[in-house]
Amino acid sequence: MTKHLSSIPKQNQPLRLYVPFNIPKKNKKPSKKITFRIRESNPARPGPRQTIADS
């Protein structure tokens, strides 16, 4: 029983981290944080485009 209880808190921890991540996604203010992530992802996409232009 003690092992079972230890397993439950371990799974609960990742769930708590997931909840705050989902909340900011629905919020409009945290949207700015999401844009920052998209901006970092965008430069990675044009990366291959610049390689083609260099060619």
pLDDT (tens digit, 9 = 90+) per residue, 13-24?
A: 555 555 555 555
Name the amino acid, one letter, at 11. Answer: Q
Report the C-alpha gap between 18 and 20 in whole angstroms: 6
The tens digit of pLDDT for each residue in 28-53 reads: 555 555 555 555 555 555 555 555 55
What is the model's pLDDT at position 9?
Answer: 55
Asked whether the predicted pLDDT for residue 55 surpasses 50, the reply is no
Q: Give the residue numbers spanning the domain of 24.
A: 15-41
Tokens standing for residue 46:
């044009």
Question: How many CB atoms are closer than 10 A to CB 24?
Answer: 14
Burial of 30 (0-12, 13-18, 19+ CB in 10 A): middle
Q: Is residue 20 part of a domain?
A: yes
In whole angstroms, what is the distance from residue 22 CA to residue 1 CA? 32
29 belongs to a structural domain: yes
Residue 49 in domain: no
| 7 inside domain | no
The number of folded domains in the chain is 1
